[in-house]
Structures are given as C-alpha cells and as structure tokens.
Amino acid sequence: MFVALSKFAVVNGMEQEVKTAFENRPHQVEKVSGFVRLDVISPIDKPNEIWLITYWLSQESYNIWHRSAEYRKSHQAMPEGLKLDPSVTEISFFEYVCS
C-alpha cells in the first residue's frame, strides 16, 4: 500500500472554515479506483496546520487521482479568501508497512 501525507498551514485565521469544508467535502476521492482511506488531522500545538493522509493501493492510483479533473474539482469547496503559508506546504510519500 502507498500513503501520501499533505501538510499545509492556514495563515489568515480560516482554519475552522477549512476543517468544516473537509468535514462537508464532496467525497470525490472515495470514487477513485485504488483509493483506500482519507484521514484529516490537525496538530494540537499548531491548530492552523492541516494534514491529509491518504491511503492507496498503489502510487499509480494516487498519481492518476492527483492529475485528474476530479482532483481539481474537489478543491473548489475550500473557503474563498483562504491563504496558506507556502513554507509549510509539503507532500511526503510513504510505504505502508503495518498497523
């Protein structure tokens, strides 16, 4: 299994709006072949940071999703006026070992 961790930080106080947008997301990714699960978490000591952990059957499945029109469409629900800190934004990839 393949895991992608995306991390970003909200800089204009809209973190609760972003978290609500994720809670109410359109669930586009759940329809994608190879998708397993999405977890949205936020560090207690940095509540303006949001981390997305997606689990996939393969890196190829993730890559197909990440390049798709559905991926871009899924981000349209983010609140208008949202500003992120580009120095915090990152994506990391992992081999899933076990739980």
Tens of pLDDT, residue by residue over 63-84, are 999 998 888 888 777 888 899 9
pTM above 0.85, yes or no: yes
> Is residue 96 pLDDT above 80, yes or no?
yes
pLDDT score of 86: 95
Per-residue pLDDT tens digits for 10-38: 999 999 999 999 998 878 888 899 999 99
User: What is the domain range of residue 53?
Assistant: 2-95
Residue 30: which CATH number? 3.30.70.100
User: What local confidence, expressed as pLDDT, does residue 79 receive?
Assistant: 82
Q: How many CB atoms lie within 10 A of CB 68?
A: 14
The alpha-carbon radius of gyration of the chain (Å, integer) is: 14
What is the longest distance spanned by two Cα atoms in the chain? 39
Q: Domain tally for the chain?
A: 1
In angstroms, the CA 75 to CA 68 distance is: 12
